[in-house]
């Protein structure tokens, strides 16, 4: 960044250009990559907002003007690239203009945005909405969610552990576009698009696996780590003993004796907590999670299992184990490209009325 701010070798022909060879495989987006330029502009903007370095403001201004005046698509105004527009690339450009216009309340140095920055940001977002639909070169689908257009097939060679189909999009694009939606919310006061994108990202994904999709399945249950008391020390507990919370399952303590977990969130710990309500919430949730045994499933499926993500809900049907769409949480997976198998590691808490897989 210091080298760029010093202005050494950055100018190359009309406008301002930066290296576009961003991958060991040599992929580029032509002679100019608006996403790379916008990323540098974002870095310059944040550097200026925090430290006031005039070189950062100068380079941010140059890059924003270059993007606005020289780099738009020849076919679609206020969009970038004229073939199959990339949502993540356009999102970076829009974020840069949004940050320039909105700034940050906590910034030490306000960036001197110009009216053309606000107009370009607004025009970009309106172009996103105007060209929304379930076909390229639109950036957003009919639900205003970024999507990718790809032929059905795998991309293992240059993106291990990913399998794409034409219906699937890139979470990178969704996250970056959520950043645009956040800037749009600050700018317009309308947060509905941001809420929609964040809701899409955080939505619990549920995948059903029937017997035909299960190669092997083993089941265990463990009571190791079951706790009925959680004690949490937080903030400056060493000097203020009142900064302590405790959650207890009194019935379990009476039945089995105290089985406690001590959590250290004091100053100096890797993770600290200062707010009493937050400390109490953490303790309560830990007790809820640790108060019951857990059931663990080791399931082997075929390569399609690589699409599953950590945190997904997997509904398993297996007559032998007595499962009829029993839901488990995916917490780990291993992809074996040689054998074309995927091992899934799943778990769920055992409720008092839960079915014992061994019939005990």
Q: pLDDT by residue (tens digit) across 232-291? A: 999 999 999 999 999 999 988 998 889 999 999 999 998 999 999 999 999 999 998 888
d(C-alpha 309, C-alpha 333), whole Å:
8
56 close to 47: Cβ distance less than 8 angstroms:
yes
Q: What is the pLDDT of residues 105-126, one digit of tens each?
A: 888 999 999 999 999 999 999 9
Question: Residue 336 region, left (φ>0) first, then alpha (ψ -120 to 50), else beta?
Answer: beta
- Is the domain of 213 the same as that of 135? no
Give the whole-angstrom CA distance, residue 236 versus residue 219. 44
pLDDT at 206: 82
Q: Give 318-333 pLDDT, tens digit per residue.
A: 998 889 999 999 999 9
278, 150: one domain: no
Q: Looking at the domain assignment, is residue 355 inside a domain?
A: no
Q: Quick check: is 359 in a domain? A: no
Residue 1: pLDDT band (50, 70, 90) is very low
Q: What is the pLDDT of residues 125-167, one digit of tens each?
A: 999 999 888 777 788 888 898 865 444 444 445 444 444 444 4
Same structural domain for residues 298 and 254?
A: no
Cβ neighbours for 22, distance < 8 A, ≥ 6 positions apart: 28, 33, 36
Contact 93, 139 (CB under 8 A): no
For the segment 297-319, the average pLDDT, to the nearest whole number, is 90
Same domain, residue pair 331 and 192: no
Give the three-class secondary structure for 84: coil
HSE-up (13 A, CA, CB side) for residue 301 = 23
End-to-end CA distance of the chain: give it in Å, rounded.
Answer: 64
Do 115 and 260 fall within a single domain?
no
Across the range 180-196, mean pLDDT stands at 96
In this predicted structure, the answer to whether residue 4 has a pLDDT above a threshold of 50 is no
Question: Same domain for 165 and 66?
Answer: yes
The band of 9, judged by pLDDT with boundaries at 50, 70 and 90, is: very low
Average pLDDT, the chain: 83
pLDDT for position 71: 86
Q: Last residue of a domain, which of 274, 290, 306?
A: 290
pLDDT of residue 199: 84
Residue 20 lies in a domain: yes
What CATH number corresponds to the domain at position 133?
1.50.10.10
Tell me if 216 is assigned to some domain.
yes
pLDDT value at position 141?
85
- Picking from 97-101, 201-205, 264-268, which range would have the lowest pLDDT averaged per residue? 201-205
The residue among 290, 305, 324 that closes a domain is 290
Q: Taking a C-beta distance cutoff of 8 angstroms, is the pair 39, 20 a contact? A: no
Nearest to 17 by CA among 9, 25, 29, 6: 9
- The pLDDT assigned to 160 comes to 45
**Residue 110 shares a structural domain with residue 243:** no
Domain count, the chain: 3
Owning domain of residue 118: 2-203
Return left, alpha or beta for 226; rule: phi > 0 is left, psi -120 to 50 is alpha, else beta. Answer: beta
HEC-encoded secondary structure of 231-294: EEEEECCCCCCCCEEEEECHHHHHHHCCCEEEEEEECCCCCCCCCHHHHHHHHHHHHHHHCCCE
Residue where one domain finishes, among candidates 269, 290, 311? 290
List, for residues 29-50, the tens digit of each pLDDT value.
Answer: 556 788 888 999 999 999 999 9
Predicted structure pTM score? 0.55
Question: Looking at the structure, do residues 7 and 155 belong to the same domain, yes or no?
Answer: yes
Whether residue 336 is contained in a domain is answered as: yes
């Amino acid at each position: 960044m210091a080298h760029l701010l010093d202005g050494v070798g950055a100018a190359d022909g009309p406008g301002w250009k930066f290296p576009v060879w961003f991958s060991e495989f040599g992929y580029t987006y032509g002679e100019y990559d608006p996403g790379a330029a916008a990323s540098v502009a974002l870095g310059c903007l944040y550097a200026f907002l925090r430290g006031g370095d005039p070189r950062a403001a100068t380079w941010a201004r140059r890059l924003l003007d270059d993007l606005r005046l020289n780099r738009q698509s020849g076919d679609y105004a206020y969009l970038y690239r004229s073939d199959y527009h990339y949502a993540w690339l356009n999102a970076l450009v829009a974020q840069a203009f949004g940050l320039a216009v909105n700034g940050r309340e906590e910034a030490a140095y306000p960036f001197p945005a110009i009216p053309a920055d606000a107009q370009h940001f607004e025009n970009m977002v309106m172009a996103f909405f105007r060209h929304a639909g379930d076909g390229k070169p639109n950036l957003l689908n009919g639900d205003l969610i970024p999507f990718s257009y790809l032929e059905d097939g795998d991309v293992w060679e240059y993106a291990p552990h990913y399998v794409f189909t034409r219906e699937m999009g890139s979470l990178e694009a969704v996250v970056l576009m959520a950043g645009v939606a956040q800037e749009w919310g600050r700018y317009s006061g309308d947060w509905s698009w941001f809420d929609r994108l964040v809701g899409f990202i955080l939505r619990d994904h549920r995948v059903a696996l029937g017997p035909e999709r299960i190669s092997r399945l083993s089941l265990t249950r463990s009571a190791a780590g079951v706790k009925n008391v959680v004690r949490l020390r937080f903030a400056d507990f060493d000097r203020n003993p009142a900064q302590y919370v405790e959650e207890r399952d009194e019935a379990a303590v009476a039945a089995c004796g105290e089985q406690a977990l001590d959590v250290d969130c004091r100053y100096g710990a890797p993770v600290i907590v200062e707010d009493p309500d937050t400390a109490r919430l953490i303790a309560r949730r830990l007790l809820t999670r640790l108060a019951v045994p857990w059931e663990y499933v080791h399931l082997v499926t075929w390569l399609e299992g690589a699409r599953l993500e950590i945190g997904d809900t997997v509904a398993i049907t297996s007559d032998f184990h007595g499962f009829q769409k029993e839901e488990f949480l995916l917490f780990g997976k291993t992809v074996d490209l040689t054998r074309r198998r995927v091992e899934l590691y799943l778990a769920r808490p055992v409720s008092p009325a839960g079915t014992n897989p061994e019939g005990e």
